[in-house]
Chain A
Amino acid sequence: MSATPHQSSATNLDLDLSKLNLKAMPRVLGRLTRLSFRYPWQWFFALSCAIASAIFNLITPRLLGRAVDQAHHLLLDGHTHPEETRAAFLQLTPRLFGEATQQAYQLIIDGHAHSASPRAALLATALMIVVACALRGTLTGLQGYWGEVVAQRVGYDLRLAFFEKLQRLSFGFHDVNHSGDLIARGMLDLEGVRAFLESGFLRAVVLLLLVSFGAWRLLSMDVNLGLIALSFVPFVAWRATRMGLLLRLSWQRLQQLMSDLTLTMEENLQGIRVVRAFASKNLELAKFDQTAQSALRLANRRITIRMGSMSMMNAAYYTAMGLVLWIGGQRVSQGVMTVGTLTEFLTFMTLLQQPIRQVGMIVNSSSRATSAGSRLFEVLDAVPTIEDDTNARDWVPGAGVLRFEAVDFAYDRRPGGRKILSGISFEVGPGKTLGIVGPPGSGKSTLAHLIPRFYDVTGGKITLDGQDIRSVTLDSLRRAVGLVQQEIFLFDVSVHDNVAYAEPWAEEQRVVEAASIAQIHDHVAGLPDGYGTRVGERGVALSGGQRQRMSIARGLLAGRAIMVLDDSTAAIDTATEQRVRSSLRTAVSNRGTIIIAHRLSSLLHADEILVLDEGRIIQRGTHAELLREGGNYADLWALQNRTDSHTPTTTRLRANPILEVA
Chain B
Amino acid sequence: MTAPSTPVAKNAIELSDVTLRYATKNGQIEAVRGVSLSFAPGEFVAIVGPSGCGKSTILKLVSGLMTPAVGTATVGGVAPRPTGQVGIAFQNPSLLLWRTVLQNVLLPLEVSPAHKAAYRKDPAPFVARARRMLAAVGLGGFEDKHPWELSGGMQQRANVVRALIHQPSILLLDEPFGALDAFTREELWLALQALWMGARPTVLLVTHDLREAALLADTIYVMSPRPGQITLRREVELPRPRTLEGTFTPEFSEIVRELREHIGGVRTRIRAEELMEVAS
Q: Do A and B come from one complex?
A: no
